[in-house]
């Protein structure tokens, strides 16, 4: 029996497109002589559908798509993910389900048991947990079909009280098949392989694991579908960050007698800026590309300051969208240095993207004159600094509205964490490209972009970062060294360590207290921010929910 995995890039709620992709996948699998083709979790409607699931019309369209797909299963069996109605009045109205289609019929519907409700996941809001477990009989074999989280309940501190595979093993299955939509973070592919290997070693049978690919607003899926033999060896792995189809013969897999590989999982408990930077780069590229394609946008605009953040954002956008589709706007103020303007011009010349220089001196002076009678003679402070930033935001949005550009935000995670940004100014935008990338990772991305030749001028990488909103300003005037700051932020945000635990690691107590206070008191700014492409295990946005009004560490 040949089983094929189809990792595809779906569009949430686009049933026509998704169905067409699935039918193309079935045709391609048939051409490879497959007996069964496996797609991904909720592939029919796209993942995560969120509150679309509350609309009966959405569910009806999903059922109609299943009817179209099953008509193409005369000679091949198909496993697809889609919501299924719960016939019982008790509990939620829907299940997250895997539909087993064959011979033009729905042969079996498998319900997901473990519903993640943490970070970016909110499945218990919509779905009822599965409560019956049955293998799928097919061509003389018993298939143990699970969905994503169902295989993750292992270890010394399991999140759930039940393990679906424990139940299915009572029926002596021959193979595990998992339909997944497992999001990317820069360490998650390693976590994924570790958990699959633990499953195959625990249960002693091979696994076919099919993962989604593509970006859905802030969440990126990286693919990497994989087939393991019963000893924990990777027999086949599909590529990352692209659609692909491939499989392996089950009988051959069951006969595999390769020795078990050594443990290759190395936990990463500290922030290493260069760690998996190539994967972060790929995730951001697909995040930009899919956001624009799926929303029907074609052109981007951004403010280019000659600093590292805007430079990296511009280079990423050009790679994702094409040089002709990304317009850079240089907006020097009275405090901008000429070398910053020269650096920004050199960058756009290297990238060959269109750019304009719009000096804001006169606009800024007009603002100051208008506000001067109302500032009551108070000294220059953040009000005058932020005025420059908001002027730039207005100019960028004016051009965006006039020409249909989408404004890309250039703020990094270090700045967003500490509130080092101006609401309605440099925090404006339709998509945050670097919002889940710490400052030291931004530098690592710049070095990666320059891996073959100089694209980002070395002067941009080497000079001290500055907002250039007052004379001789440096980021270090307001923030600690980024290498230290990023490490503290990582311990607090990603690892959820408290102040005592962070101080115990050797960080200065006053600095830790100040940093955590900055993070918590600036939640109101982040709550008004645009979507952020997620590349870490804990990004700002839907995956991190803390009160705006609160006293903890503030």
**Is 41 designated active site?**
yes
Q: Which residues, 6 or more positions from 390, have their beta carbon under 8 angstroms from its beta carbon?
A: 422, 424, 425
Given a contact cutoff of 8 angstroms between Cβ atoms, the answer to whether 80 and 101 are in contact is yes
The number of helix segments (H) and strand segments (E) in the chain equals 17, 19
309 labelled binding-site residue = yes
The answer to the question of whether 306 is labelled as a binding residue is yes
Asked whether residue 337 is marked as a ligand-binding residue, the answer is no
- Specify the DSSP element, H or E, that contains 338: helix 338-351
Q: For tokens 């908001």, what's the residue?
A: 390
Catalytic residue among 21, 41, 45, 163: 41
Residues 6+ apart with CB under 8 A from 433: 284, 287, 288, 313, 316, 317, 408, 409, 410, 533
Let me know if 43 is a catalytic residue: no
Three-class SS state of 167: helix
Burial of 354 (0-12, 13-18, 19+ CB in 10 A): middle
| C-alpha distances out from residue 244 to 86, 148, 287, 408, 524, Å | 33, 19, 18, 29, 41
Which one of 70, 112, 413, 439 is the catalytic residue? 112
Are 465 and 439 in contact by the 8 Å Cβ rule? The answer is yes
Contact 314, 352 (CB under 8 A): no
State residue 25 phi and psi, 5-degree precision. Answer: -65, -40
Dihedral in degrees, nearest 10, Cα atoms 307, 308, 313, 316: 130
The two beta strands, 355-357 and 326-330, are parallel
Beta strands in 174-303 (DSSP E): 175-180, 207-211, 213-216, 219-222, 226-228, 234-237, 244-249, 300-303
Does 191 carry a binding-site annotation? no
Q: In whole angstroms, what is the distance from residue 184 CA to residue 212 CA?
A: 10
Q: How far apart are CA 79 and CA 154, in angstroms?
A: 25
Q: Collapsing DSSP states into helix, strand and coil, what is residue 281? A: helix
Q: Is 466 annotated as a binding residue?
A: no
Nearest by Cα to 15 from 57, 51, 50, 73: 57
112: annotated active-site residue = yes
541 annotated ligand binder: no
Catalytic residue among 148, 163, 210, 530: 148
User: Pseudo-torsion of CA 51, 53, 56, 57, nearest 10°?
Assistant: 90
381 is in an annotated binding site: no
Q: How many CB atoms lie within 10 A of CB 185?
A: 24
387 among the known binding-site residues? no
The rounded Cα 122 to chain-centroid distance in angstroms is 15
Contact of 119 with 543, CB cutoff 8 Å: yes
The burial of 495, by beta-carbon neighbours within 10 Å (0-12 exposed, 13-18 middle, 19 or more buried), is given as middle
For residues 298 and 325, is the Cβ–Cβ distance under 8 A? Answer: yes
CB 455, CB 351: distance < 8 Å: yes
415 is in an annotated binding site: yes
**296 belongs to an annotated ligand binding site:** no
- Binding site residue list: 118, 182, 303-310, 386, 410, 415, 525
Indicate which residues carry an active-site annotation: 41, 112, 148
- Binding site residue list for ATP: 303-310, 410
- Binding site residue list for L-glutamine: 118, 182
- Binding site residue list for deamido-NAD(+): 386, 415, 525
């Amino acid at each position: 029996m040949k089983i094929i995995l189809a990792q595809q890039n779906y569009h949430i709620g686009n049933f026509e497109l998704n169905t067409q992709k699935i039918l193309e996948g079935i045709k391609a699998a048939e051409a490879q002589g497959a007996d069964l083709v496996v797609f991904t979790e909720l592939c029919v409607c796209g993942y995560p559908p969120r509150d679309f699931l509350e609309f009966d019309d959405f569910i009806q369209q999903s059922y109609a798509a299943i009817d179209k797909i099953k008509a193409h299963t005369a000679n091949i069996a198909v496993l697809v993910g889609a919501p299924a109605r719960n016939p019982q009045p008790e509990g939620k109205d829907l299940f997250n389900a895997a539909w087993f289609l064959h011979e033009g019929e729905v042969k079996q519907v498998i319900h997901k048991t473990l519903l993640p409700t943490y970070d970016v996941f909110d499945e218990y809001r919509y779905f009822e947990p599965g409560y019956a477990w049955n293998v799928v009989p097919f061509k003389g074999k018993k298939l143990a079909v699970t969905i994503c989280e169902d295989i993750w309940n292992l270890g010394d501190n399991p999140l759930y009280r039940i393990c679906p595979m424990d139940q299915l093993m009572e029926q002596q299955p021959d193979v595990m098949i998992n339909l997944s939509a497992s999001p990317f973070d820069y360490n998650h592919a390693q976590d994924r392989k570790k958990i699959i290997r633990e499953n195959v070693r625990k249960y002693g049978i091979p696994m076919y694991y099919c993962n989604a690919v593509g970006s859905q607003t802030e969440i990126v899926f990286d693919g990497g579908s994989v087939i393991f033999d019963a000893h924990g060896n990777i027999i086949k792995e599909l590529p990352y960050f692209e659609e692909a189809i491939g499989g392996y013969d089950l009988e051959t897999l069951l006969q595999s007698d390769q020795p078990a590989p050594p443990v290759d999982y190395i936990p990463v408990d500290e922030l290493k800026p260069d760690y998996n930077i190539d994967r972060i780069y790929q995730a951001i590229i697909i995040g930009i590309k899919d956001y624009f394609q799926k929303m029907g946008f074609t052109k981007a605009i951004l403010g280019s300051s000659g600093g590292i953040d805007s430079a990296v954002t511009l280079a990423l956008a050009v790679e994702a969208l094409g040089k002709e589709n990304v317009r850079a706007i240089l907006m020097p103020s009275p405090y901008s240095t000429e070398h910053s303007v020269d650096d920004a011009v050199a960058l756009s010349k290297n990238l060959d993207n269109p750019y304009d220089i719009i000096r804001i001196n006169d606009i800024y002076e007009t603002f100051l004159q208008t506000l001067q009678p109302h500032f009551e003679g108070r000294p220059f402070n953040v009000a005058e600094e932020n005025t420059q930033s908001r002027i730039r935001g207005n100019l960028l949005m004016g051009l965006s509205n006039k020409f249909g550009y989408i404004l890309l935000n250039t703020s990094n995670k270090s700045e967003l964490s500490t509130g080092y940004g101006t609401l309605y100014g440099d925090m404006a935008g339709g998509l945050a490209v670097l919002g889940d990338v710490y400052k030291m990772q931004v530098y690592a991305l710049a070095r990666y972009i320059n891996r073959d030749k100089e694209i980002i001028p070395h002067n941009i990488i080497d000079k001290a970062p500055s907002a250039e909103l007052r004379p001789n300003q440096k980021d270090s005037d307001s923030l600690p060294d980024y290498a230290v700051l990023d490490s503290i932020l990582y311990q607090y945000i990603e690892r959820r360590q408290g102040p005592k635990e962070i101080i115990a690691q050797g960080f200065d107590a006053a600095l830790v207290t100040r940093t955590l206070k900055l993070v918590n008191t600036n939640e109101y700014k982040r709550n008004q921010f645009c979507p952020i492409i997620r590349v870490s295990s804990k990004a700002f946005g839907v995956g991190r929910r803390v009160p705006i009004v609160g006293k903890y560490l503030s």
